[in-house]
Amino acid sequence: MSQERVEVIVVGAGPAGVAAALTLARAGVEVVVLERGAYPGAKNVMGGILYRQPTEELVPGFWREAPLERAIVEQRYLLLTEEDALGVTYRTPAFGQPPYNAFSVLRAEWDRWFAQQAENAGALLATGVTVEDVLWEDGRIVGVRAGEQGELYADVVILADGANSLLAQKAGLTREWRPEEQALVAKELLRLSETEIERRFGVSAGHGVAIEAFGASTGGLLGYGFLYTNRDTVSVGTGALLSDLITHEVNVSDLLDRFKRHPAIAPLLEGAELVEYSAHLIPEGGWRALPTLFADGALVVGDAAGFVNPLSREGSNFAMISGKLAAETILEARAVGDFSAFALSRYWQKLEESFILPDLETIRNVTPFVHQRPYLLREYPEALTRAFQHYLTVDGTPKAQKYGTIIRELIRDLRPTRLLRDVLAGVFQLVR
Amino acid sequence: MKIVVLLKEVPDPNAVRYDPRLGDLVPGIQRVANEYDLYALEAALRLREQVGGEVIVASVGTARDALNRALAMGADRAVNLEGDGLPGDAWTTARALVAWLQREQPDVIWCGQETSDSGTGNVGPAVAAQLDLPLVSNVVGWEFRDGVFEIEREIEDGHQFQEVAPPVVLCALSALPQPRLPTLRGIMDARRKPVEHLTAADLGLSDEALQPLVQWEGLSQPVAKAAGVVVQDVPPDEAVERLLTFLESRGLLG
Ligand SMILES: Cc1cc2nc3c(=O)[nH]c(=O)nc-3n(C[C@H](O)[C@H](O)[C@H](O)COP(=O)(O)OP(=O)(O)OC[C@H]3O[C@@H](n4cnc5c(N)ncnc54)[C@H](O)[C@@H]3O)c2cc1C
């Protein structure tokens, strides 16, 4: 029997795979996306903030027609102790007007819409297909095998199968991920009415809030709790590095329960009805765990390549832009008819010229930084909330005396030299 | 043998959610092929493998993805009856299908016993009635031998065996063999298979012919029932005592 062939196979219809397929299809390349879910988004979890600018690089003006939940106009950062919360809020009307900055989305709907754009451009989307392995010939990757569903051959295979990519492992492009390179996140989708969300979060119709909470929201582990408002649901979740969860014997769904019961969070969720619970891995090995990103006949994109910035909850934009850059690499390779690792290595260069590799490099030491300072997410929130409590309590103590106490306690708890060292170290990590 | 499979796209039963404010399903639920219909298609493909011929899938109403899936599984061609007045209710759906089936004159019409959305189970019987064909419902097993179907059907408290010769309408249940997964080759081939789009006008159907008989009045959610009281593992006398106390407490004993 003759081989069934296309020019490019994309495995996975998440943001990375679809962005690649869309870019290729627009350039007239014959591309097939193989997705194991019954439809794109069927198996996807996302806390759900989608940034406008990177998305517009793929579908200009998408926000006029895509299924988006709310435009995020306000960001809250909270530092939590067992009971208290201290926070910073930034809000601007500018984020609530075209062209907007970011949106909350529900993956099940967004992914389907995004995949539809690729189909409209001419990509073939095949759902219900689980790819089990890549096919090799003379040391080159030449296609994929999907169990009893058969084989398909192509000039290039793009691995876009998400976090913990089994295909990249089977293809020998990456070693097995380690527990310290994955975060485990538990998430719930809870229903409230549209008006109730607008009342509780103080936003007008179509506008929403994103909250990120550090400290007790993860039991002091490296990670954060989040809460995003959708149209008539809220996404709430929390998670931490798998290795930390294991060593501290913490269960993420317990963490999530505790986060939801926190006095600063519980009133926001009161009476909300559970729609869906899920748990998911986020690759956080980043720079240190980068797989081989290109091989003879293959490229790795998105979460499969570990392209996530956990610090600023960016994943889908890394996914989409890496998918686009992979597609552009293939277009250049196709022009000269050479799909060798050498020709596809242009992908690395493109990643270096974009924000993707530079950002991963910038944050490469965050995990060790926090691990060396376990007090950061435990003692600092305690000390700071205590100081605020004293400051705000009116109890007849003369102010000068009160301020003195606060300062003395802060010096005792925060240890200024240590703090200064931490701040400087932190700044050196992140700024160049 | 010319085999037709009737296939409908329904909201994904795993994703269906009711929106109390809309009084309807939440909008935008992904649509998938009705499960029983895929069992019917699998039966049709097996029949073709046995006796040769052609499998045509037909759907009333938008069904692009479901028809593509059927073609990828191995159907030879697809027909989509769409446009004003379609799909309407089970009656108009059957009307439209009959107008088309009269042209095709198939030997066997396979359909699912019912759909997971409206659940009327009317389309197959209505088609059979309008075409004056025999119908066997609740099919859980079949063999085709010497020009005759030997059919096993599920009934209230057992199984019934029937013989019927084509032309015939058969309604499938999910005790039949599992629908096959499309192969990658099948998926690629499906792109090259014909999909015919027909409107009511193409079929010569007037607006009157498509008047639905049923008007839907919207959906509502059943009122939640209180958890019952379970009396278990206690001596009979005590059980009776508890039951009486319970009924009395609810004012049910006069
Ligand atoms: C709880 C949580 C919250 C998040 N919040 C945000 C956020 O607010 N903002 C943000 O930008 N990012 C967020 N992210 C990260 C973001 O979801 C990911 O970075 C992004 O989805 C990566 O896209 P991808 O296409 O690489 O992978 P995925 O979206 O994981 O897609 C992979 C696809 O491949 C399919 N697949 C896998 N294996 C196979 C196979 N063998 N054969 C066929 N198909 C296969 C899967 O079904 C899936 O559809 C969050 C992640 C999590 C877990």
**Under-50 pLDDT residues of chain B:** none
Nearest chain A residue to B29 by CA: give it.
A109
Q: Are A25 and A31 in contact (CB under 8 A)?
A: yes
Q: Which of A18, A34, A36 gets mutated to test ligand 1 (max ligand atoms within 8 A of its CB)?
A: A36
Nearest Cα to A177, choosing from A91, A264, A336, A284?
A284
CA-proximal residue: ligand 1, atom 53 (nearest): A280
Cα of A405 vs centre of ligand 1, distance in Å, is 49
Residue A238: count of CB within 10 angstroms of its CB = 28
* Token couple for A95: 């984020």
Q: Are A208 and A47 in contact (CB under 8 A)?
A: no
Q: Are A226 and A313 in contact (CB under 8 A)?
A: yes
Contact flag B184-A152 (C-beta cutoff 8 Å): yes
Contact flag B184-A42 (C-beta cutoff 8 Å): no
Q: Are B111 and B130 in contact (CB under 8 A)?
A: no
Contact flag A146-B21 (C-beta cutoff 8 Å): no
pLDDT tens profile B222-237: 777 777 778 888 888 9
- The secondary element (H helix, E strand) that includes residue B186 is helix B184-190
Task: Give the distance from residue B226's alpha carbon to the nearest chain A alpha carbon, in angstroms.
Answer: 18
Q: Are B75 and B41 in contact (CB under 8 A)?
A: yes
Residues with CB under 6 A from ligand 1: A 11-17, 34-37, 43-49, 130-131, 160-163, 167, 185, 187, 237, 280, 282, 302-304, 308, 313-317, 319
Q: How far is CA B68 from its chain centroid?
A: 18
Task: Give the distance from residue B41's alpha carbon to the nearest chain A alpha carbon, in angstroms.
Answer: 17
Q: Are A190 and A272 in contact (CB under 8 A)?
A: yes
Beta bridge partners of A90: A75
Lookup result for tokens 């010497």: B146
Give the list of residues 6+ apart from residue A411 with CB closer than 8 angstroms, or none: none
Q: What pLDDT is attached to residue A41?
A: 85
CA-proximal residue: ligand 1, atom 38 (nearest): A161
Considering only the beta carbons, identify the residue of B21, B28, B182 that sits closest to A109: B28
A287-293, Cβ contacts within 8 angstroms, sequence gap of 24 or more: A287/A357, A287/A360, A287/A361, A287/A363, A287/A364, A288/A181, A288/A364, A289/A174, A289/A177, A289/A178, A289/A181, A290/A360, A291/A165, A291/A168, A291/A173, A291/A174, A292/A173, A292/A174, A293/A173, A293/A347, A293/A348, A293/A351
Write the secondary structure of chain A as one string of H (helix), E (strand) and C (coil): CCCCEEEEEEECCCHHHHHHHHHHHHCCCCEEEEECCCCCCCCCCCCCEEEHHHHHCCCCCHHHCCCCCEEEEEEEEEEECCCCEEEEEEECHHHHCCCCCEEECCHHHHHHHHHHHHHHCCCEEEECCCCCEEEEECCEEEEEECHHHCEEEEEEEEECCCCCCHHHHHCCCCCCCCHHHEEEEEEEEEECCHHHHHHHHCCCCCEEEEEEEEEHHHCCCCEEEEEEECCCEEEEEEEEEHHHHHHCCCCHHHHHHHHHHCCCCHHHHCCCEEEEEEEEEEECCHHHHCCCCEECCEEECHHHHCCCEHHHCECHHHHHHHHHHHHHHHHHHHHHCCCCHHHHCHHHHHHHHCCHHHHHHHCCCHHHHHHCCCCCCCHHHHHHHHHHHHHHCCCCCCHHHHHHHHHHHHHHHHCHHHHHHHHHHHHHHHCC
Range A85-97 average pLDDT? 95
3-state secondary structure of B172: strand
Contact flag A39-B32 (C-beta cutoff 8 Å): yes
Contact flag A38-B184 (C-beta cutoff 8 Å): no
pLDDT above 80: residue A46 = no
Where residue A45 falls among pLDDT bands split at 50, 70, 90? low
| CA–CA distance, A133 with A155 (Å, rounded to integer) | 16
* Token couple for A273: 């009805």
Q: Are B105 and B166 in contact (CB under 8 A)?
A: no
Backbone φ, ψ for residue B148 (5° rounding)? -130, 140
Q: How far is CA B195 from its chain centroid?
A: 21
Nearest Cα to A48, choosing from A266, A281, A372, A317?
A317
Backbone φ, ψ for residue A326 (5° rounding)? -65, -45
Contact flag B30-A112 (C-beta cutoff 8 Å): yes
B2-210 is classed CATH 2.40.30.10: no
Q: What pLDDT is attached to residue A1?
A: 56
Exposed/middle/buried for A288, CB within 10 Å: 0-12, 13-18, 19+? middle
3-state secondary structure of B137: strand
Where residue A432 falls among pLDDT bands split at 50, 70, 90? low
Q: What pLDDT is attached to residue B84?
A: 81
Q: Which atom of ligand 1 is nearest to the CA of A187?
A: 1
DSSP state of B212: -
- The secondary element (H helix, E strand) that includes residue B125 is helix B123-131
pLDDT tens profile B93-126: 999 999 999 999 999 999 999 888 888 889 999 9
Where residue A418 falls among pLDDT bands split at 50, 70, 90? confident
pLDDT above 70: residue A47 = no
Cα of A114 vs centre of ligand 1, distance in Å, is 13
Q: How far is CA A87 from its chain centroid?
A: 22
Residues of A in contact with B25 (CB under 8 A): none
pTM of this structure? 0.88
| CA–CA distance, B13 with B8 (Å, rounded to integer) | 13
Q: Which of A10, A32, A35 gets mutated to test ligand 1 (max ligand atoms within 8 A of its CB)?
A: A35
* Least confident window among A149-158, A186-195, B69-78, B210-219: B210-219
CA dihedral A104, A106, A107, A108 (to 10 degrees): -160
Contact flag A124-B17 (C-beta cutoff 8 Å): no
CA dihedral A170, A171, A176, A180 (to 10 degrees): -130
Nearest Cα to A285, choosing from A306, A311, A264?
A306
Cα of A361 vs centre of ligand 1, distance in Å, is 21
| CA–CA distance, B115 with B104 (Å, rounded to integer) | 24
Q: What ipTM does the predicted assembly reach?
A: 0.78
Tally C-beta pairs within 8 A across A and B. 53
Backbone φ, ψ for residue A186 (5° rounding)? -105, 140
Q: Are A19 and A62 in contact (CB under 8 A)?
A: no
